[in-house]
A = this chain, B = another copy of it.
């Protein structure tokens, strides 16, 4: 059986992380990095992103060794996108200390010809105009998922609306959902957002798990309870990457597959939190994912 490629568009970045246990500098991150590594545990990935001259080739080579096709990673003149964040002691909130868009400010994703037939697509959190442009370059994708953020919800409502109409799946956190719907109650907000176009909606709630809403009703997957929470950076992107990875691997988005994919996504995201940057996420194998995923199932299984 031919494997289904997953196309991932997003950011690649240097993160400076003030964590409760450590201050980490120049950590290779960005949504495309986390999502690609997470998805690569399940399917071959095609990454589309931009980096500056200062980005280490070794980090790109490392993605390549994981089965990520890096032909869509453009190296532009200038510096790589950089984010500096400080986490609260309980890791439940964070403050952005500095953002330098650098080459990401002029990012115009151009898909290599070899990427244009990608059946599964994850559009990371970039300008909705760019998300639309990427979609126009892809030949009849089977499933398109996207993320977004408060900045575009506030400022690019109309374009974002056009994106939503084209989505099979929107993956956002609870605050983004509430902002998008203008409704606080999660269930009502979900219904409002589903009426804007996406066939399915996944709401990420960090340590409180995630909820799926679709025409079938709703489904809840808990976060795996961790003893060693080190760094939540990229956990949401890892969640989305693993979710799409399993859907592409299974070449299905039926009810049972989707629920299993959400369990896998929650599992992979939990590993991400256990290490600084992509350290733990990149170090796991399919055996450790399967073991923890089985524990997650037991965690919610009534047991009768």
Contact = CB atoms under 8 A, between A and B. Distances in A.
Interface of A: 89-90, 184-188, 205, 208-209, 211, 217-222, 225-229, 255-256, 259-260, 263, 297-304
25 contacts: A90-B184, A185-B227, A185-B228, A186-B225, A187-B225, A187-B226, A187-B227, A208-B208, A209-B222, A211-B225, A217-B298, A217-B299, A218-B225, A218-B299, A219-B300, A219-B303, A220-B225, A220-B299, A221-B300, A256-B302, A256-B304, A259-B302, A260-B302, A260-B304, A300-B300
B256 A303 contact: yes
Contacts of A263: 302
Most chain B CB within 10 A, of A222, A260, A297, A302, is at A302
Closest 7 CB pairs of A and B: A256-B304, A300-B300, A208-B208, A220-B222, A256-B303, A259-B302, A187-B225
A144 B299 CA distance: 24
Contacts of A186: 225
Contacts of A301: 259
Contact of A229 (B185, B225, B255): B185
A300 B262 CA distance: 11
Contacts of A222: 209, 220, 222, 300
A197 B91 CA distance: 29
A256 B302 CA distance: 6
Nearest to A298: B217
A302 B255 CA distance: 9
Nearest to A223: B220
Most chain B CB within 10 A, of A185, A222, A226, A300, is at A300
Nearest to A89: B184
Contacts of A205: 208
Contacts of A188: 227
Contacts of A226: 185, 187
A229 to B, nearest CB: 7
Nearest to A92: B184
Contacts of A227: 185, 187-188
A206 to B, nearest CB: 10
Contact of A304 (B208, B220, B259): B259
A103 B89 CA distance: 42
Most chain B CB within 10 A, of A209, A211, A220, A226, is at A220
Given A187-B226, A187-B227, A225-B186, A219 B299 contact: yes
